[in-house]
Structure 1
Amino acid sequence: MAYRVIGASPARADAWEKVRGRPIYAGDLALSGMLHGRIVRSPYASARIVRLDTRAARALPGVVAVLTAKDVPRNELRMELPGRMAEATAGAVLATQPVLADDRVRFQGEPVAAIAADTPEIAAQAADLVEVEYEELPGVYDPLAALAPDAPVVHEGGNVLRRWHLRSGDVAEGFARADVVVEQTYRTPFVDHVYLETETGIGWVDAEGVLTLRVSTQVLEHFRDVAEVLQLPHARVRLEGAYVGGGFGGKEDVTVECLLGLLVWKTRRPVQLVFSREESFIGHGKRHPYVMRYRSGATRDGTLTALEAELVSDSGAYAALSPWVLLYSLVTATGPYRIPHVRVEATTVYTNNPVASAYRCFGSIQTCLAYEGQMDALAAALGIDPLALREKNFLRKGDALATGQVLETEPLLAETMRRAWAGLGERRARRGPTRLGRAVAASFTPYGRMCWTRDSASAWVGMELDGTAVVRCAAPDVGGGQTASLCAITAEVLGLDVERVTAVGRDSHFTPRAGTTTATRQLLMSGNAVLNAAREVRRHLSAAAATLLEAAPGDIVLADGRAFVRGAPDRAFPLASVVKTAIAEGRPVQALEKYDAPAAPTIDPLTGQGKAFNDYTFGAHAIEVEIDEETGRTRVGRLVACYDAGRVINRASAQGQLEGGAVQGLGYALMEEIALENGVSKNPHLADYKIPTSLDVPTIETVLLESGDGLGPFGAKGLGEPAMTPSIAAVANAVSAAVGARVTELPITAERVFAALRATA
């Protein structure tokens, strides 16, 4: 089928505005009488609060409020999944966390008091005047140490937060059949999202007494969390989504919302709360560190026979989304391969380290490092080409994952891998004291939430009298082009140019609920909701056009802003005329529609058998690295990313996702790490926490295949998170190929590479 808008690269409506610096972010707003918020945070990772004295801070001129735990109506944030209260869902893994610490702090940066003052300077001065006496307590700072029987306990009930199990076949039999067995332990660190805009919000109480918050967030449904903490009716809290200066999962959790809402509600004045960069580093959720012990077996011809894995992740001080991150790791632990005998034990534990929660790829990127490292190690042990080994064992249509889920579409794994590899071109000659390494990494990543959450999204599409269209959908746009995609879908269905479609959204009070911009779900969920609504509007417009053109509704074509009979485009009516005719005939020219994701029961908790996710995005990265033998410095020279996108909605946005995911992955692989000493960050600032700059970005080629097999609009699949998944594995495998030894720990710093070079000299 030929598309007019879908697959093209129309300029996004906000593109020029952002280039010119015109969008108003939450931190840019200033209201009359506005106060400035400041949070007092614990400098210790594990301590008891012996005394908390706020009198000096309260006495400071210009200070309006100094709030502590006793001032919070319900000092407990409860959540199972973002946007859903834990009490509202069956089988909840209840994640709780105090809004303000009461008698105990469990991580460095835990909020202890909240201040509102006339100026940022007064608020900072007041924070320094809050006297907190702490008694340091024993803590636990290593996830493996947290499993020891005598380890300090972070929460009553023990340090094990959640376990998941995966069983398929007979692992003992599988390893008995293997001619080669490879065992490795892989380690990944805490890393930060480092978005350009820190956690930010502004709030006020409107004329109707509604607490209104405009926040940089991925989740408008957090208005419910604020309402519960303040013990207000949900309808008394309104959340508006501001422009988001980067999210990557870090603004999926509650960030400023409850603290800001508390200050606004208590003072009844506008308040702005902006976290400093250091606060952002120590105060919000990180990517989980993992320790992954893998054992893989294969026959002499390269057939995989068995996989055994033990995954331990560090949840930090509170649960947040750790159980679900671990579930993603469990499901993806085998990689996109047919393995008849599998056993995986996955555990997430509490420590006194920073809280770990959502970050792009949500548990599937850590396991990719391990399963792709195993594939290259097996290939070396067997003397088989790594690409050939993968291709021999790739999942195909009709195959079952280790969870028992049968793939109903062709995953195009071999195609994506071969196209990525071919994109590297001819091998370059070595120059000077350098080593070159090339490698590939394949991956599969879910898009959409777990099946048993019964996910849904709603959207409204309507026509204006001038023939333009409006989309109303509460999907937060976090910079990935979510709004542009919804406009493109509407334009395609209604035969309009994208410029004649306007999107209105990001308001919990006035736009249909669309759920969270997380889990690579918005194109699937809101995209399908918009598609359903646009098709319903089209049905009514076609009926009205049939009256004007004296034809059957099924013969009407909407294109180029006109309606005409198929095969006779010369006789046409502008959509404005069609809209007026529809209204005159009493036909609706708008529709509110819903999309419900296919549902399935919860997977078996003891075996992991069942359907965890509805579909997956498959892709591959191929990378060439150059290593300086004298320093160990690694430079990525070329990177090719190839994915089956199902159907590309906006080509420029899709390519941007692949490029951004690749660069973010390079930072994770080569340089990023939160350095901790007994739970205290040693590098909570950009001077010492390194991320890639433009000078670190290699030549990147993106290749998009279109199977049309996705569950999204027109057969699309999600790309936001999958774009990053294979990145760290590809880098690790390429460095391993260059130095002649397996690299199994991130980040792959120059020091580690140099040590590996010396060990293999």
Structure 2
Amino acid sequence: MPHTQVRSAETSGVGQIGSSQRRPDAALKVSGQFAYSSDLWMDGMVWATTLRSPHAAARIVAIDTSLALAVPGVRAVLTHEDVPGAKTYGMKVSDQPVLAIDEVRYQGESVALVAADDPEVARQAAKLIRVEYEVLQPVTDPERALEDERPVHQDSNLVRHVKIRRGDMSQARDEAEVVVTGDYEMGMQDQAFLGPESGLAVPTEDGGVELYVSSQWLHKDLEQVAPCLGLEPDRVRLTLAGVGGAFGGKEDLSVHVHACMLALRLGRPVKMVYNRQESFFGHVHRHPARMRFEHGARRDGRLVYVKARLLLDGGAYTSTSPVVIANASYFAAGAYEVPVAEIDGIAVYTNNPPCGAMRGFGAVQSCYGVESNMDRLATALGMDPVELRRLNAMTTGTVLPTGQEVDGPAPVAELLQSLEELPMPPAVDLEADIRALPGGVSNTTHGEGLVRGVGYAVGVKAIGYSGGVDDISTARIRLTVSGGAPVVSVHTAAAECGQGVTTVQAQIVSTELGVSRVVILPADTTIGDAGSASASRMTWMSSGAVQRACRFVAAEILGRAAERVGIPASALTLAEDGVVNAASGEAVVTIAELVDDVIEREAEFHHRKTETIDPETGQGDAHIAFAFAAHRAVVDVDTELGLVRVVELATAQDVGKAMNPIAVEGQIEGGSVQGLGLALMEEILVDSGGLVRNPSFTDYLIPTILDVPSMPIRLFEFPHPDSPYGLNGVGEPPTLSSTPAILNALRDATGLDLPRAPVRPDDIALAGVRTETPRQEGMKK
């Protein structure tokens, strides 16, 4: 077994659901003792690295590995000819080569592998591999990719066109008294997780392989890895190693097949760890978007129709682009009652870096567009932006553009009202700490051109898998007695990516069985599928499976207790490691007295069935549930220098049931800050030749603690009727509305259109400001 392998996490005295619980890995992570996948070590292992393409588009004429093989300490050099099974893989379409075969389609595509006794030897040897390329003109403009550019793949550059049609658009346009149209763009955002891609592959005696890897979805990984290795799935075992963040970027394969190929070839453990620059090339990113929104309304503010066109750049391979563009299109009308909709969502191939899953999964892009245009509409109507949103707010019973009725809670108006009622942050004192000014400690702002702006936005997103996918999660609960006290072990394949699902599992055991000593076993593929840590679904689905398995165990315990004490099982309940008479509250027998062997039960949990949408109309009941979040942003802007400080970013969100309130608040804070980064600084810059200009944290900027504003949070708990305990997904919604709230605040402060996120200083400083007096609230001299 590898050293510093992820161990079972045992909790002692864990509370029940609804109580704030500290995570078992918290102290280890803060102190630097937590074992991430990059920390794995095994005697006799070798190190591997990847040779990547320097070109965005080129044919491979020849590969010469002889010089690399001659380097002392090099154990193997592999190319596509050495792939033992299927040559390609993919989340939705198997179109991405394990190693480039005859063509590279983006800068950074994997071309060859090197394994050596030392990581530096491997890196230097990789530089000696000679690849002869015939460079091609890359396809980099997504609009032109649909028109006259050569196909990146065989036939067409179209990945998917999603069409949603509801109501009579011609009639709606006649009825609309005020119409506004806006064009909006969003740049390519990186997940910027702190733990880079890494894994350790270990060959097994039966000719198979074990892989310890940082991942979001072990079973989907297995589904792709095994065919590429030419092995049956039962000879490939994946175990979740410590994950240093993911946010969608670890759904697709990275080191998986490469490390396993080398381990099988050498008969030795192989470790792969990407450095930060390689990580930028080694995972998908958020799709950049170009969008046009048209809103028609009556003069009283009632929406009549929305017409939207969304164009997403999927980059060189399919990944999850077909589903991302669908999700973006589903919610292009926003969290509003809109009787008529015409939505076209288009995803295309280019020779830009591949794009796929990232927190919000397409809904981030469309939320930015629709919320920006709602502020434009409010201006045209002369209405308060919050009042316009409240007037058109979605409610339970609202029919979506896809024809589906919202049958769960939809408290959009309540969220907006709660934010509006929050007191505004205090005025900034221009003589106070320079960290309170735009520009922060650089002290470049002195307040001469300082103005304040306020912006609102609300977002809606589906929770869980949609469009007819049978979502599933499996859990196994094992009850034993150790040292005279009951101990419960929980085994699932749920990926703990930092969101705290292991803590919630322990809380469910405490709630259902009354047992406080809980062991969370490492997630692996020896247990049934748990699905992906994505779509804000993991707590919902994993909780359902753990709850169901616990109730099977509880039924066995209560049955044994009934036989022993002569009271019907229906009159008994579990609490504090024992069985209690429900009528009297008296403890009648301990669990330890009832369990002299092992009680083990396994359960599957499925959500309700959904439908695929009609390809021509987009109609269908595609979703199981919806989650809502709203933000109010308060910004201070130096209009002369273009510097921005977000003073406050307040959130109101319906979470259904706060299973672990402190963790819920952490998810909301993290999602909001990620949205702040997208609004003001985060963008992978790709030039016209398809080359990435900033693959490092030196040039790809993410918010630091000095950029994080005051973040008041208001949690609403409207129980969802279909979920365990009434909970709802919480991880993605705050990422939707935080970005447009900040942009709307910037527009309020400056009077500029600011059609593109992120906003750069020169977008403000070089554009000039409106001639009328900008909002000066909150300024104090």
TM-score, length-normalised on structure 1?
Answer: 0.94
Checking the alignment, whether the CA contact within 8 Å between 2:145 and 2:350 is kept in structure 1 is yes
The residue correspondences of 1:175-574 to structure 2 (distance < 5 A) are 175-221=173-219, 222-425=221-424, 428=427, 432=447, 433-465=449-481, 466-497=485-516, 500-509=517-526, 511-574=527-590
- The CA deviation string for residues 427-482 of structure 1, in whole angstroms up to 9 with x for no partner, is 73785431111111111111100141111111111211232211111101001001
| Residue aligning to 1:699 | 710
| Residue aligning to 1:654 | 664
| Residue aligning to 1:591 | 601
Checking the alignment, whether the CA contact within 8 Å between 1:645 and 1:716 is kept in structure 2 is yes
| Residue aligning to 1:729 | 740
Checking the alignment, whether the CA contact within 8 Å between 2:408 and 2:626 is kept in structure 1 is no
- Coordinate RMSD, CA, aligned: 1.7
| Residue aligning to 1:78 | 89
- The CA deviation string for residues 498-530 of structure 1, in whole angstroms up to 9 with x for no partner, is xx1211131112x33212212211112111011
Checking the alignment, whether the CA contact within 8 Å between 2:750 and 2:770 is kept in structure 1 is no
Give the Cα–Cα distance (whole angstroms) in 2 for the partners of residues 397 and 759 of structure 1: 40
For residue 378 of structure 2, give the secondary structure of its aligned residue in structure 1. helix
Give the Cα–Cα distance (whole angstroms) in 2 for the partners of residues 206 and 34 of structure 1: 14
For residue 680 of structure 1, give the secondary structure of its aligned residue in structure 2. coil
Return the offset for 1:632. Answer: 1.1
AA paired with 1:478?
A: C
- The CA deviation string for residues 36-57 of structure 1, in whole angstroms up to 9 with x for no partner, is 1010000000111122111111
Give the Cα–Cα distance (whole angstroms) in 2 for the partners of residues 424 and 128 of structure 1: 59
- The CA deviation string for residues 277-319 of structure 1, in whole angstroms up to 9 with x for no partner, is 1111123211100000111110000000011111110010111
Q: Is 1:708 matched with 2:727?
A: no
| Residue aligning to 1:167 | 165
AA paired with 2:150?
A: P
Give the Cα–Cα distance (whole angstroms) in 1 for the partners of residues 604 and 123 of structure 2: 47
Match of 1:31 among 42, 45, 53: 42
Give the Cα–Cα distance (whole angstroms) in 2 for the partners of residues 485 and 423 of structure 1: 31
Return the offset for 1:758. Answer: 4.0
- The CA deviation string for residues 346-387 of structure 1, in whole angstroms up to 9 with x for no partner, is 111111100001111000000000111111111111111111
Checking the alignment, whether the CA contact within 8 Å between 1:451 and 1:599 is kept in structure 2 is no
Return the offset for 1:760. Answer: 5.2
For residue 602 of structure 2, give the secondary structure of its aligned residue in structure 1. strand
Return the offset for 1:619. Answer: 1.4
Checking the alignment, whether the CA contact within 8 Å between 2:165 and 2:343 is kept in structure 1 is yes
For residue 408 of structure 1, give the secondary structure of its aligned residue in structure 2. coil
- The CA deviation string for residues 236-281 of structure 1, in whole angstroms up to 9 with x for no partner, is 1111100100100000111110111111111111111011111111
For residue 184 of structure 1, give the secondary structure of its aligned residue in structure 2. strand
Moved more, 701-710 or 478-487: 701-710
Give the Cα–Cα distance (whole angstroms) in 1 for the partners of residues 385 and 23 of structure 2: 41
| Residue aligning to 1:85 | none
For residue 619 of structure 1, give the secondary structure of its aligned residue in structure 2. strand
* CA 1:60–1:420: 2 relative to 1, 3 Å: same
Paired residues, what number?
737
Give the Cα–Cα distance (whole angstroms) in 1 for the partners of residues 771 and 109 of structure 2: 45
AA paired with 1:10?
A: Q
Moved more, 303-312 or 550-559: 550-559
Moved more, 464-473 or 58-67: 464-473
| Residue aligning to 1:86 | none
Checking the alignment, whether the CA contact within 8 Å between 1:73 and 1:230 is kept in structure 2 is yes
| Residue aligning to 2:648 | 638
Return the offset for 1:759. Answer: 6.3
Give the Cα–Cα distance (whole angstroms) in 2 for the partners of residues 438 and 593 of structure 1: 49
| Residue aligning to 1:741 | 752
AA paired with 2:238?
A: L
Checking the alignment, whether the CA contact within 8 Å between 2:307 and 2:342 is kept in structure 1 is yes
Return the offset for 1:483. Answer: 0.9
* CA 1:122–1:760: 2 relative to 1, 3 Å: farther
* CA 1:429–1:26: 2 relative to 1, 3 Å: closer
Checking the alignment, whether the CA contact within 8 Å between 1:299 and 1:305 is kept in structure 2 is yes
- The CA deviation string for residues 114-168 of structure 1, in whole angstroms up to 9 with x for no partner, is 11011011101111110011111111111112112x2122111021111110000
For residue 49 of structure 1, give the secondary structure of its aligned residue in structure 2. strand
Give the Cα–Cα distance (whole angstroms) in 2 for the partners of residues 351 and 54 of structure 1: 29
Q: Is 1:616 matched with 2:626?
A: yes
For residue 700 of structure 1, give the secondary structure of its aligned residue in structure 2. coil
* CA 1:321–1:424: 2 relative to 1, 3 Å: farther
Give the Cα–Cα distance (whole angstroms) in 2 for the partners of residues 75 and 194 of structure 1: 30
AA paired with 1:167?
A: R
For residue 613 of structure 1, give the secondary structure of its aligned residue in structure 2. coil
Give the Cα–Cα distance (whole angstroms) in 1 for the partners of residues 31 and 321 of structure 2: 39
Checking the alignment, whether the CA contact within 8 Å between 1:338 and 1:394 is kept in structure 2 is yes
| Residue aligning to 2:53 | 42
Return the offset for 1:559. Answer: 1.5
| Residue aligning to 2:96 | 97
Return the offset for 1:95. Answer: 4.1
- The CA deviation string for residues 563-590 of structure 1, in whole angstroms up to 9 with x for no partner, is 111242344322212334xx6xxxx732
Return the offset for 1:710. Answer: 5.2
Checking the alignment, whether the CA contact within 8 Å between 1:739 and 1:760 is kept in structure 2 is no
Give the Cα–Cα distance (whole angstroms) in 2 for the partners of residues 760 and 130 of structure 1: 61
| Residue aligning to 1:89 | none
Give the Cα–Cα distance (whole angstroms) in 2 for the partners of residues 112 and 246 of structure 1: 27
Checking the alignment, whether the CA contact within 8 Å between 2:90 and 2:96 is kept in structure 1 is no
Give the Cα–Cα distance (whole angstroms) in 2 for the partners of residues 427 and 341 of structure 1: 42
* CA 1:225–1:383: 2 relative to 1, 3 Å: same
Return the offset for 1:209. Answer: 3.2
Checking the alignment, whether the CA contact within 8 Å between 2:15 and 2:21 is kept in structure 1 is no
Return the offset for 1:755. Answer: 2.9
Give the Cα–Cα distance (whole angstroms) in 1 for the partners of residues 475 and 119 of structure 2: 40
Checking the alignment, whether the CA contact within 8 Å between 2:639 and 2:769 is kept in structure 1 is no
Give the Cα–Cα distance (whole angstroms) in 2 for the partners of residues 60 and 41 of structure 1: 19
Moved more, 545-554 or 531-540: 545-554
| Residue aligning to 1:84 | none
Checking the alignment, whether the CA contact within 8 Å between 1:467 and 1:574 is kept in structure 2 is no
Percent of pairs with identical residues: 38
* CA 1:135–1:396: 2 relative to 1, 3 Å: same
AA paired with 1:428?
A: A
What 5-or-longer segments of structure 2 have no aligned partner? 1-13, 431-446, 773-781
Return the offset for 1:79. Answer: 3.5
Return the offset for 1:637. Answer: 0.4
TM-score, length-normalised on structure 2?
Answer: 0.92
AA paired with 1:296?
A: H
Match of 2:616 among 574, 598, 606: 606
Return the offset for 1:4. Answer: 6.6
Return the offset for 1:424. Answer: 4.7
Give the Cα–Cα distance (whole angstroms) in 2 for the partners of residues 710 and 307 of structure 1: 30
For residue 435 of structure 1, give the secondary structure of its aligned residue in structure 2. strand
Checking the alignment, whether the CA contact within 8 Å between 2:208 and 2:264 is kept in structure 1 is no
| Residue aligning to 1:87 | none
